[in-house]
Amino acid sequence: MSDSVAFDPREIDKLIDESDPAVLGICSDSLMEVLGYVSSLGFTLLVDVFGVDYPEREKRIELIYILLDMKQNRRCHVKLAVDPALEKVPTCCGIFRAADWFEREVYDMYGVIFSDHPRLERILTDYGFEGFPMLKDFPLTGYKEVRYDLETKKVVYEDVNLPQEYRSFDFLTPWEGTKYVDEMSGEKKD
């Protein structure tokens, strides 16, 4: 996604005419301008907004906006890379009303803040949830364990307690390397 370019209508027209789906890699400064322009070309349905975490990149979150032109059955993907710790992304709720919930989900799962969003708050996780669960460095067990306590008759949040260490399940199966499996597959092993 290093081919992010500034807004140029001729380049966008060319990409949309040449490929389906058209994939536009842009910088976050031109997001609203590009989405407005693409919407004027007939891509009036925002199908989804989602994120992908690439922890090795400087801007680790890639946002993908999937748009549909229902009259001509064409798709357009608008991609931009952001660093949620350093930058905010402008909300596109003014162009696509469906963006409201999609952007809330991206905020909840990845921590991307959308500026001027009408109601940017968690939508899938609990109110006191810490962290962003779709980031690849988020622990598998989370930070807190949530359970219902019968004695106090309320929901209790406790630090995660692992009674045993993580186990590695990366081992050979009993069937790997056995003679009859190798013979059935036609492989010969010495």
User: What are the residues whose beta carbons fall under 8 Å from the beta carbon of 38, sequence distance 6 or more?
Assistant: 12, 16, 24, 67, 76, 78
What separation, in Å, do the N-terminal and C-terminal C-alpha atoms of the chain show? 46
**Second-level CATH architecture of 9-140:** 2-Layer Sandwich (3.30)
Calculate mean pLDDT across residues 157-166: 74
Look up residue 108 and give its amino acid: D
| pLDDT tens readout for residues 144-160 | 888 899 999 998 888 88
Domain boundary assignment for the chain: 9-140
Mean of per-residue pLDDT scores for the chain: 85
The mean per-residue pLDDT over the stretch 101-123 comes to 96
Average of pLDDT values for 136-141?
A: 83
Q: What is the pLDDT of residue 190?
A: 52
Q: What is the pLDDT of residue 119?
A: 95
Classify residue 12 as exposed, middle or buried by CB count within 10 Å of its CB (0-12, 13-18, 19+).
buried
pLDDT at residue 98 above 90?
yes
Q: Is there a contact between 49 and 68 (Cβ–Cβ < 8 Å)? A: no
| 186 has pLDDT over 90 | no
Q: Phi/psi at 118 (nearest 5 deg)?
A: -65, -25
User: Edge to edge, what strands does the sheet with 61-69 contain?
Assistant: 22-25, 74-82, 61-69, 45-53
Which pLDDT score, from 0 to 100, does residue 2 have?
Answer: 42
Tokens standing for 122? 């968690």
Q: Which amino acid is at 117?
A: H
